[in-house]
Structure 1
Amino acid sequence: MATSPETESHSLKTLFANAEERKLSIASLQYNTPEWTAAYTEALQGFTECLRLSRDMALFSSNETIDDLATADLPFLSIQYHLAEITLKTAFTTPEARVGVVRKARDEFEAFLTQMDHYDLLGVQYAEQYLRFLDDRDKFSAIDARDPAARRDAKMASFAAEKQIRQRLATLRANPRYIENGGDEDLVRETYLANLELQIHDALQQIDSVNRELDILAQAPPRPPQPQSSGPLMADGGDPRSRRTASGKPETDYSERLDAPLSRNPGGPLLSKAGKPLQPFTLVGNRQDLKKGVFRPGHNLPTMSIDEYLEEEKRRGNIIEGGGAASMVKPEPDEDNEEKADAETMKARKWDDYKDDNPRGAGNTVNRG
């Protein structure tokens, strides 16, 4: 029984919404976990199936314009944009595998931009970048300037343009008349077109990033060749590393070393009569030194007492003496030392004579008070 176009359209819409939901959930999951892998696989398969359905339904034609498209079909123009973003998240193990991933993603971005160009949705700025990309896909850069100042200005202009688109898109979606099913069709259509404009801007930026990543991957050193086993095979065709004993158990003493395995008898001699080691041993310089260090503490013990440390610091001049409350205590006069007493008396008399000759305020002739 054939499927009606209405059923296919409804199936495409449901499949696209589910794939978008799984794609958004990837950002909240830890990379390469089972949950992340499941969400990634479902999103990739969902958008791939959406692309197949849209082509089977002939949803987009080469002889129509953007005005010929129904408003409900506009979101499906971004299927290959979503496929490119999902492809970039593909896990890889080697640089060569990553090269294939990013090239495939770039092809999806190119297919998306080609479709946008067909419907005249690129505008003047993005159309110029798209043409430069077609001229040289591997050397394309979203900012066509080599001067550092010019590149900085171009980056700021690009950031401002993206910010303006996002603000306009948020304003449109916040409008109460914006309802995807049954809302104001003109408002919904304008919102869908603004979202496509944002995806065009992001696609060109991501192609720029992809090209820079390809340049880095091209400079990665080649992997060393994998060693191939050239050892002799056993009589039964097996690997000698899987030799077994007479009892049928694996021979655990097998080693790829050229010398024979050492004896595992700890009580036996260390050396054979010919001087060949029979079991592992360690050469030590002084047995007594090792013996003394067995029961010592794990931390370093002090080498001097606190008093010895303070004496050493005092000898080095690192301790300042004097000051504090003790410096305010006047020493008791020595009554037996007459010379010192006379000197103190003469000093006091001279000070009294000075104060008599120079009364307080005598020199203050301008600002008395």
Structure 2
Amino acid sequence: MSSTSATSSSISLASLFSRALSSLSSSLHLPASDPAAQSSLQSAVTDLKILSSRVNDLGLFSDNEAVDDLSTRDAAYMLVDFVWGEAAGRVAANGRDERITRLQQSELHLRIFLNHLKSYSLISECDQYLFAKSIPADFASRRDVKIKQFKAEKELRSQIAALLPTETTSDIDLFAKLIDLPSSYDEDQARELTFKVLRLAHVQCQAQLRSIGEELELLRMAPPDEPQAPPDEKRTEDDGTWRLDRINQVLTDVNGPLLDPQGRPLRPFTLLPSNTSSVAADRQRLQAQVFRPGHRLPTMTIEEYLAEEQRRGNIISGGGAASENAPTSKEQLQLDTEMDGTAFAEEREEEQRRKDEDWAVWTEANPKGAGNRRNKG
């Protein structure tokens, strides 16, 4: 056993999990290609691997248990596989095949996390139907599903924020605070908070699995990585065939060959008509090049020029009677709220309500004539 493994096995599960979350959090604040970020990710993956092994050895979770048999402190360690899946998917890969392997490892741990939630029936059927189903292909249904998912996640986050004693900056910070809840924290609130955080991780897990599936599909359709050439076949400084400045030497030889044995051009050339052997054809071609207008001829019609200027946005449009008869922003907002039965109308109605509420608050704080006191107090 290495010294790192021995040290990790001697500390508590909570300390080990907190260290892994801290390493993962520090990597998220750096570019993915930064060596420091990759080093933090590898450290987090190592700790999570040891932590998962210790959780399995302790038998914290069992398919034969019900949710009432699950300890509140133990339930938080369901997040180990979820965090491991997140970290494994962020580790840099060299090439297509290694990236596919990383994604498959990430998918495996995320599905283990989902199996734990399913085993203890921690996710309601409504949430399973909303977040686990595939996104529809048509735009209207996709937009409706996205709005419902966003509202459900927003409500869940607000409920978690109400139960937490302090504010969190990210989901990783939320997991860390869940692990380090003080012993004086109310047991019922701690259990409710833990289950809601697991539901939030379920939402993130389903989104991550969809993203992994799409990326795996693209990678499997991509061509395989090209094998690297042996060292003796690589270009060397003594090999001048690849140097660009070698072309200049060929250009000076106008009587040399036009193409190399592989069919690549060695110098510039001009394509001439097929009947250039005729003297009359040569005379006519040269005459067309000499006797031409001294000024530049137009390259497009006026209609084409105006169409191009309009495409670039250089022509002002609008105004007149059509602009005068168009509804104002306030009138358009009122019209939008009258579209009953649509999500767009609900959003516009909520916007109208906020504007009316803001106006009522302002008028109450600034009564009529309050700004014209003439220094009378």
Please give the range of the TM-score, normalised by the shorter of the 2 chains. 0.5 to 0.7
Matches within 5 A, 1:193-342: 193-227=195-229
1:93 aligned partner: 94
* Rounded Cα–Cα distance in structure 1 between residues aligned with 2:166 and 2:103: 38
1:27 aligned partner: 28
Structure 1: stretches of 5+ with no match in the other structure:
1-6, 134-140, 232-238, 243-251, 262-269, 276-369
1:162 aligned partner: 153
* Aligned residues between the structures: 233
Q: Secondary structure at the match of 1:183?
A: coil
Shift of 1:220: 1.9
* Rounded Cα–Cα distance in structure 2 between residues aligned with 1:107 and 1:154: 26
| Alpha carbons 2:160, 2:197 under 8 Å: kept | yes
Shift of 1:100: 1.5
Write the letter of the residue equivalent to 1:85.
Answer: E
Write the letter of the residue equivalent to 2:140.
Answer: A
2:349 aligned partner: none
Shift of 1:180: 3.2
1:228 to 1:81, Cα distance in 2 relative to 1, 3 A? same
Shift of 1:79: 0.7
1:102 to 1:55, Cα distance in 2 relative to 1, 3 A? same
* Rounded Cα–Cα distance in structure 1 between residues aligned with 2:97 and 2:34: 23
Choose which of 134, 137, 148 in structure 1 pairs with 2:139: 148
C-alpha deviations, 1:157-184, integer Å up to 9, x for none? 01111111111111110489x9532211
| TM-score normalised by structure 2 residue count | 0.54
| Alpha carbons 1:16, 1:50 under 8 Å: kept | yes
Shift of 1:115: 0.9
| Alpha carbons 1:109, 1:207 under 8 Å: kept | yes
Shift of 1:129: 6.8
Write the letter of the residue equivalent to 1:38.
Answer: S
* Rounded Cα–Cα distance in structure 1 between residues aligned with 2:26 and 2:164: 21
1:36 aligned partner: 37
1:350 aligned partner: none
| Alpha carbons 1:142, 1:204 under 8 Å: kept | no
1:68 to 1:29, Cα distance in 2 relative to 1, 3 A? same
Matches within 5 A, 1:54-133: 54-128=55-129
| Alpha carbons 1:90, 1:101 under 8 Å: kept | yes
Shift of 1:223: 3.6
1:173 aligned partner: 164
1:8 to 1:186, Cα distance in 2 relative to 1, 3 A? farther
* Rounded Cα–Cα distance in structure 1 between residues aligned with 2:186 and 2:16: 24
Q: What's the % identity of the aligned pairs?
A: 27
1:12 aligned partner: 13
* Rounded Cα–Cα distance in structure 1 between residues aligned with 2:166 and 2:230: 67
* Rounded Cα–Cα distance in structure 2 between residues aligned with 1:220 and 1:57: 43
* Rounded Cα–Cα distance in structure 1 between residues aligned with 2:101 and 2:193: 35
Structure number with greater CO (CA < 8 Å, separation at least 6) is 2
1:307 aligned partner: none
| TM-score normalised by structure 1 residue count | 0.55
Shift of 1:9: 10
